[in-house]
């Protein structure tokens, strides 16, 4: 089955963790008294960039800004579908200045950027599936932002309620395995409300389900190109299930970023032109 999976070349936007640190607490993973090894974070991030490029993907970078330690989490900056950029409005005041720097990059690259009126944290909570947008809410992005996104993109938006504060963004509990054809996802059911679980079961009856241990290792904060899945090596059970479904796990350790509640996908914005 593995040979039938076809990778699709992606374009990613990232931000070097030059100023990364845990300087405040805005999710259960963050403890300002926990030291961060900035050199190790740099090494792990560079390993991710090398892995992307080794698998044929393009990588562009936004310059990091002093005083914005979470700017490394590029996924939260926007959602880009068919060259249309839906920007961000962060819930936490500490992160709100990030939006302007990413907007500047997008505009310099020739994109127009829509500024949401309601709290919306980019691909953290808005996940493009190829047919519609899966949209998380409960801790960060609001349902009003879901409606804004639907009006902006002209694609259906499916709202999903998150119920566990450890999985405060949709991209900590779910990722898209492939966004062509019927598509498929991997997710951790217990991160969602009962009604949202039923929705996911109906939309994706063949989804790859993760264990609690996989989810706590941020195994669902992964990036797939349709064949290769860049995944936390600690999510061993999930990697085995992906392999059994014909995907090729590519382990990349970003464990230093877990101290801020981040991982592979958090560090990766996909630009869909």
How far apart (Å, rounded) are the C-alpha atoms in residues 162 and 68? 26
User: Is-catalytic flag, 19?
Assistant: no
How far apart (Å, rounded) are the C-alpha atoms in residues 189 and 210? 8
How far apart (Å, rounded) are the C-alpha atoms in residues 240 and 41? 26
How far apart (Å, rounded) are the C-alpha atoms in residues 234 and 117? 38
- Indicate the SS3 state at residue 108: helix
How far apart (Å, rounded) are the C-alpha atoms in residues 113 and 249? 34
Specify whether the CB–CB gap between 87 and 115 falls below 8 A. yes
Residue 229 C-beta-side C-alpha neighbours within 13 Å:
31
Q: What residues contact 35, with CB distance under 8 A and at least 6 apart?
A: none
**Residues 15, 57, 120, 266: which is the catalytic one?**
266
Q: Are strands 223-224 and 248-251 parallel, antiparallel or unpaired?
A: unpaired
**Residues of the chain with confidence (pLDDT) below 50:** 1-2
Q: Can you spell out the DSSP letters for 176-215?
A: EEE-STT-EEEE-GGGB-HHHHHHHHHH-TTPEEPPHHHH
Indicate the helix (H) or strand (E) that contains 244: helix 236-244
In this prediction, residue 266 carries a pLDDT of 98
Specify whether the CB–CB gap between 127 and 171 falls below 8 A. yes
Cα dihedral 175, 177, 183, 188 sign = negative
Give all strands of the β-sheet with 223-224 in edge-to-edge order.
223-224, 228-231, 248-251
Hey, which residues does 237 pair with through a beta bridge?
A: none
Please, what is the end-to-end C-alpha distance for the chain in angstroms?
29
User: Is-catalytic flag, 267?
Assistant: no
Q: What is the tens place of the pLDDT at every residue in 66-105? A: 999 999 999 999 999 999 999 999 999 999 999 999 999 9
**Residues 57, 146, 169, 228: which is the catalytic one?**
169
Integer-rounded Cα radius of gyration of the chain: 17
How far apart (Å, rounded) are the C-alpha atoms in residues 2 and 20? 37
pTM: 0.97
Specify whether the CB–CB gap between 220 and 186 falls below 8 A. yes
In this prediction, residue 271 carries a pLDDT of 98
Q: What is the tens place of the pLDDT at every residue in 38-65? A: 999 999 999 999 999 999 999 999 999 9
């Amino acid at each position: 089955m593995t040979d039938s999976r076809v990778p699709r070349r992606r374009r990613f936007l990232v931000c070097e963790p030059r100023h990364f640190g845990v300087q405040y607490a805005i999710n259960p993973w963050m403890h300002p008294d926990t030291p961060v090894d900035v050199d190790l974070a740099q090494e792990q991030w560079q390993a991710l960039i090398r892995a992307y490029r080794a698998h044929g993907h393009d990588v562009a970078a936004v310059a990091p800004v002093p005083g914005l330690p979470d700017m490394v989490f590029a996924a939260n900056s926007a959602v880009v579908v068919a060259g249309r950029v839906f920007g961000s409005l962060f819930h936490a005041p500490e992160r709100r200045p990030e939006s302007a720097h990413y907007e500047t990059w997008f505009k310099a690259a020739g994109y127009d950027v829509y500024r949401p009126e309601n709290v919306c944290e980019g691909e953290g909570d808005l996940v493009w599936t190829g047919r519609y947008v899966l949209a998380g809410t409960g801790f960060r992005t609001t349902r009003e932002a879901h409606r804004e996104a639907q009006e902006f993109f002209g694609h259906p938006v499916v709202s999903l309620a998150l119920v566990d504060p450890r999985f405060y963004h949709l991209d900590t509990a779910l990722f898209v395995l492939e966004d062509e054809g019927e598509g498929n996802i991997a997710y951790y059911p217990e991160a969602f409300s009962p009604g949202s679980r039923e929705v996911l079961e109906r939309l994706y009856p063949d989804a790859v389900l993760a264990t609690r241990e996989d989810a706590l290792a941020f195994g669902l904060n992964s990036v797939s190109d349709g064949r290769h899945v860049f995944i936390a090596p600690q999510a061993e059970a999930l990697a085995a299930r992906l392999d059994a479904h014909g995907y090729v796990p590519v382990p990349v350790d970003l464990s230093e970023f877990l101290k801020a509640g981040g991982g592979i996908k958090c560090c990766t914005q996909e630009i869909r032109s």
